[in-house]
Amino acid sequence: MNPISFLRGVPADDALQPLVQVVEKGYSDALKKYGGGVLQYRTNGLTDFNGFIPLKETLAKRYGVDGDPSEKVICFNGGMEALSFLFKSYPRGSKVATEALTYDRALIDAARYDHEVVGIPFGPEGIDLTALDKALGSGDVEFFYRVIYHQNPTGYDSSPANIDIAAEICAKHNVLYVCDVAYYELRYDGVKNRLIDISKHPDTTCLLGSFTKTFSPGTKCGFGIFPPSVVDKLTDIVANTRLNPNYPTQAMIHSVMESGEYDKYLDFLTTLYFPRMDALNDALDTSLPAVVKPRLTGGFFCGIWLPGIKDEQAFIDAADAKGINLASSKVFVPEWKAHYFKKYGGHFYRLTFPAIRAEAIKEGIGRLGEVYSQLM
Q: Using the CB atoms, write b or e for 25-41: b if 16+ within 10 Å.
A: ebbebbbeebeebbeee
Indicate whether 272 and 250 sit together in one domain: no
* Last residue within a domain, chosen from 259, 284, 300: 259
- The pLDDT tens digits of the residues spanning 289-309 come to 989 999 999 999 999 999 999
Judge whether 152 lies within some domain.
yes
Indicate whether 63 and 212 sit together in one domain: yes
Indicate whether 334 and 192 sit together in one domain: no
Indicate whether 150 and 164 sit together in one domain: yes
Judge whether 45 lies within some domain.
yes
Query: Rounded to the nearest 5 degrees, what angle is found at the Cα of 153, between the Cα atoms of 104 and 306?
Result: 115
pLDDT of residue 266: 98
Judge whether 138 lies within some domain.
yes
Range of the domain at 315: 263-375
Judge whether 4 lies within some domain.
no
Judge whether 8 lies within some domain.
no
Q: Write the CATH number for 241.
A: 3.40.640.10
Indicate whether 20 and 138 sit together in one domain: yes
Indicate whether 158 and 299 sit together in one domain: no
Indicate whether 105 and 156 sit together in one domain: yes
pLDDT of residue 85: 96
Integer CA distances (angstroms), 324 to 5, 22, 365, 370, in order: 6, 35, 9, 11
Beta bridge mates, 123: 126
Judge whether 10 lies within some domain.
no
Indicate whether 237 and 274 sit together in one domain: no
Indicate whether 204 and 321 sit together in one domain: no
* Last residue within a domain, chosen from 224, 259, 294: 259
Indicate whether 231 and 273 sit together in one domain: no
Judge whether 284 lies within some domain.
yes
Count of the separate structural domains present in the chain: 2
* Alpha carbons 299 and 301: distance in angstroms, whole number: 6
Residues 6+ apart with CB under 8 A from 130: none
pLDDT of residue 244: 86
Judge whether 369 lies within some domain.
yes
Indicate whether 151 and 174 sit together in one domain: yes
Query: Rounded to the nearest 5 degrees, what angle is found at the Cα of 250, between the Cα atoms of 353 and 60?
Result: 90
Q: Helix or strand or coil: residue 357?
A: coil
* Last residue within a domain, chosen from 209, 231, 259: 259
Indicate whether 212 and 311 sit together in one domain: no
pLDDT of residue 317: 96
Ranges of residues in the chain with a pLDDT under 70 are: none
Q: Write the CATH number for 368.
A: 3.90.1150.10
pLDDT of residue 232: 95
